[in-house]
Structure 1
């Protein structure tokens, strides 16, 4: 049985934007160019720049525009802080910033996306992974949610970049009541099913997705990325309740996923 994969983040983003009900969850996203960089930083003080094709958070950068108003000659001007891996660089012009970004892109297609200021756990940013799978009966179901906390000085939360997995309830309890967190969980589960259903219109052999979402300080939900070969091992390794992974594995086995392999899953 074929399990369909879609590598291009830009392609998946365009498919989601076709659905007006889902488009409001998508941060402003464009193909990277100097014009896009300039216009996005005019609108947003924080942007992320990520490879169109890639896994594990490799190659992701972020840029923050900082208003310089302290010195008389700098009133109204901006400086730019670029971060990638554990490196931070500062630039006084967009041209210098763009040149460095293009060198880091190494000729590959990149996207630029409105940056979301994530909720934090003990001072470190976190996002959420919603696992959505086809059931043996052909319906979509959200089968698990995990939190991913960024490593110190890292801008991505991926396990392969040093991120750590935490329970959804634990992470959300620092910011809201149990009832409010449960409402967000229900919205995430519904969103996951709706995203999978939307993508399936163009990719009929899609069987699973990993929906990466951010929660901002106002508790808005934002779609950061959709993976079509999500890692399943965190659900086996992390959840004390074995029934969670048992269901994940049963569904994966039913649609032909080789659950013994982690290769290229993200």
Structure 2
């Protein structure tokens, strides 16, 4: 399953649907309706990884802003906007996803990657959690698109106090595990899942995507190698 297939599969489960941002096939009519409903939306390749080929559309008083990487273009009308993106939408299967107003650290957006792996007994266990800090003015946080891996505790310090911060991190680990268990029912042979979680300005978590071939290297980029060593150990089970 691509991103859209995973979304439709996951939303059948009551205890997880509240954490899933509205996601649909990126047709012209869908994009039009979603730009009227939400402040911003993201266009993502259904099968893409690493943050490549992602676009952000924001509706303004003067029309629309289309962003990719650090570049942006303005359009006075929706038809003009759509004409500029029509080619790559047809060339590749794209999804449209409700934009989340990400928390920021020093003015830069960040989200969370939770690593969940099966232990010796075949039970899913959260083995890592890391923050991904976007490059200045960039719309994606992915490590391979220039995002900086940082301890999530560091990124949350300006938003939550000590005990509240620790409890929130525990909840994010639990949410990542819960999401992996649900998707794992359809991916029984998979031993690892990388759950990408966005936190909005109201501290609500949103599950953006679940990777069934998660990259471990982001954890190796942290100064403290404890999580990375554990992830490597579990990868051999």
TM superposition score normalised by structure 2: 0.96
Q: Where do residues 127-206 of structure 1 align in structure 2 (5 Å cutoff)?
A: 127-206=111-190
Deviation at 1:100, TM superposition (A): 1.0
Gaps of 5+ in 2: none
How far apart are the structure 1 equivalents of 2:229 and 2:107?
A: 33
Query: Shift of the alpha carbon at 1:94?
Result: 0.9
CA displacement at 1:106 relative to structure 2: 5.1
Q: Give the deviation of 1:239 after TM superposition.
A: 4.3
* Alpha-carbon distance between aligned partners in 2 of 1:51 and 1:37, rounded to the nearest angstrom: 14
Structure 1: 4+ residue segments shifted above 6 A: none
* Alignment-derived partner of residue 10 in structure 2: 16
2:35 to 37, 41, 65: 41
Quote the residue 1:245 is aligned against. 228
The unaligned stretches of length 5 or more in structure 1 are 1-5, 69-78, 255-266
Q: TM-score, normalised by structure 1?
A: 0.86
SS of 2:202's equivalent in the other structure is coil
What is the distance in 1 between the residues matched to 2:195 and 2:162? 22
How far the C-alpha of 1:86 sits from its partner, in A, is 2.3
Say what the alpha-carbon RMSD is for the aligned residues.
1.3
Pick one of 58, 61, 73 that aligns with 1:89. 73
Quick one: distance in 2 between partners of 1:66 and 1:204?
A: 44
The residue that corresponds to 1:26 in the other structure is: 20
Looking at structure 2, the residues matched to 37 and 47 of structure 1 have their Cα atoms a distance apart, in angstroms, of: 8
Deviation at 1:150, TM superposition (A): 0.7
Q: Distance in 2 between the 1:151 and 1:243 partners?
A: 25
User: Quick check: 1:239–1:245 contact (8 Å CA) kept in 2?
Assistant: no
Larger radius of gyration: 1
